[in-house]
Amino acid sequence: MLLFHSLKASCHLSSKAFLRSRIISSGVIGKMSCSSWNYVDQESWCHLPNSQSNGLNQSPIDIPTKDTKESPEISPLILKGYEQKLKGTWTRTSHSLRFDPSGPAPSIVTYGGAYILRQFHFHWGDQPGCGSEHLVDGSSYDAELHFVHEKESPTSNVPNAPDQFAVLGVLLKRSKGQGGGEVWEALKNVPQVDKKIEIEVTPSQLLPANKSYWHYGGSLTTPPCSEVVQWFVFHQILSVPDDVVQRWSTLPSESPLPFNYRKVQELNGRKVWLLKDSN
């Protein structure tokens, strides 16, 4: 299939330029409650309760591939239950589209321990080539999928432990045309805001065949932006049917959501590690 080219970091402009461009293009100013947060005014996130959005270990980042290094301390991911059909609720929140398992959930094992899948959700943009939260050498993609896992046996009782969550990030490119298989057909059916529908998906269909990844310690990308996440961003880019993303970003609603990605954050001296999958 023909794919849209990824764009450079113009999708993630400087703070003032980012906000100005989105205020003009989104038309959502004035439709957001002042007591809630939104993607247009990201600079105000730091004023929200318990916010860590001004911290030094924030996500997403622009992954500098030439500076990434392999480490003997990290290991291939072990995925359990991802090949099985999974029932759950598919919800359109004010900020994303989210799937929550309703039965026994898949799990992963990282070099840091075992984690249970709690939910997965998507981020997208309002123009081709914009929508992914992470960049790779300055290049943005059309969307990004996050599988959010919580640690089974916390290694610390300290609140906001840096390994509380492990998130798998999958970068997505829009593909021309419609279709794309049963998983995308299921995810194309979107309920109204804050309503749920029951769907069934096979999570492995949303993961790349090659499991090479970049790894770093960071944060949630939505408020309160807690610095509690071990990130694993896959190298391989997956295709998402263009009509699926188009439907997500243009659904009629009192709370339109044309885009929902956070601008990239500074590395602040953090290391980004590399693991190559031999498959």
Are 15 and 32 a contacting pair, CB within 8 Å?
no
Residue 120 CA to its chain's centroid (Å):
8
Alpha-carbon distance values, 121 to 7, 95, 146, 158 (Å): 22, 10, 6, 27
Asked if residue 135 lies in contact with residue 146, where contact means CB atoms within 8 angstroms, the answer is no
Distance CA 217, CA 230 (A): 5
Q: Is 271 helix (H, G, I), strand (E, B) or coil?
A: coil
- Rounded CA separation 80/111 (Å): 15
| 146 catalytically annotated | no
- Phi, psi dihedral angles at 14 (to 5 degrees): -60, 160
Give 121's DSSP letter: E
Please give the full DSSP string across 4-32, using - where no structure is assigned.
PPPB-GGGS--HHHHHHHHHHHH--TTSS
Q: Taking the CB of residue 114, how many other CB atoms lie within 10 A of it?
A: 15
Q: Residue 205 pairs with which residues in a beta bridge?
A: none
> Coil, strand or helix: which one is 177?
coil
Catalytic residue among 5, 95, 134, 149: 95
- Where are the alpha helices (H) located in the chain, listed in sequence order? 15-26, 182-188, 242-250
Catalytic residues: 95
